[in-house]
Amino acid sequence: MTLEPRDPFVVDTRPLGRQPGSMRTVDRLVAAPEAYSTAMASVPEGSEIALDLRLEAVMEGVLVTGTAGGRVTAECSRCLDPLSEDFEAEFQELYRYSDESAEAAESGGDASDEDEDYYLEGDLLDLGPVVRDAVVLTLPLSPLCEPDCPGLCADCGAKIADAGPEHGHGERIDPRWEALRTLAEDPGER
């Protein structure tokens, strides 16, 4: 697969050089190419994501350390109200020089280790998968509008925070236990 240099997630490392110890920073505003989501929260497709990157040349390749920030949309896991909040995902990944992958294959290197590594394609690296993974892992699994959100009434579905403390439905007895209740009220009858 050939990387497209104009892709906003592709970074050209030529200005960095291959001299270990050299470093440069890159700031970019990119659009999410797809929705990054969990069951109740997402960064919608096309949403702006701010990338703040530090590229460092090391012996094995290029070490990328950075943050991805933007807005996440979600719904409260208790009352289902929509909410939107900022997120910031941190990541760090080593992109190995491509000639190292060829050397490892020739020397009988472990293929399973290679599958987990990222490689430079020439002087280009693709941040897409790394940013996606970092953002999805940052998304809340059970977002809340307020830390003490009381949720919805189990009987009528009304939002408890809006219904007030006097909201209630009286005592309801499960019909399966009705026969036991009548026994408890009048134990003499059988």
pLDDT tens, residue by residue, 81-138: 999 999 999 999 999 998 654 444 444 445 444 557 899 998 999 999 999 999 999 9
Q: How confident is the model at residue 6, as a pLDDT?
A: 87
Confidence category of residue 41, pLDDT binned at 50, 70, 90: very high
* CA–CA gap between residue 107 and residue 5 (Å, rounded): 31
Q: What are the distances in angstroms from CA 53 to CA 92, 154, 189?
A: 9, 47, 80
In 3-state terms, what secondary structure has residue 41?
A: strand
Here the tokens at position 54 are 């530090």
How far apart, in whole angstroms, are the C-alpha atoms of residue 15 and residue 24? 8
> Residues 8-35: what's their mean pLDDT?
92
What whole-number percentage of the chain has pLDDT above 70?
A: 86
Look at the alpha carbons of 170, 173, 175, 181 in this order and tell me if their dihedral is positive or negative.
Answer: negative
pLDDT of residue 167: 80
- Would you say residue 190 has pLDDT above 60? no
How open is the CA angle 112-118-124, to the nearest 5 degrees? 150
In which element (H, E) is residue 42 found? strand 41-43
DSSP code at position 183 = H
Length of the chain: 190
CB 44 within 8 A of CB 73: yes
Where do the domains of the chain lie? Answer: 10-138, 151-190
- The pLDDT mean for the chain works out to 86
Residue type, 95: Y
**Within 10 Å of residue 151's Cβ, how many Cβ atoms?**
14
C-alpha to C-alpha distance for 64 and 25, rounded to whole angstroms: 10
Q: What are the structure tokens assigned to 17, written together?
A: 């050089």
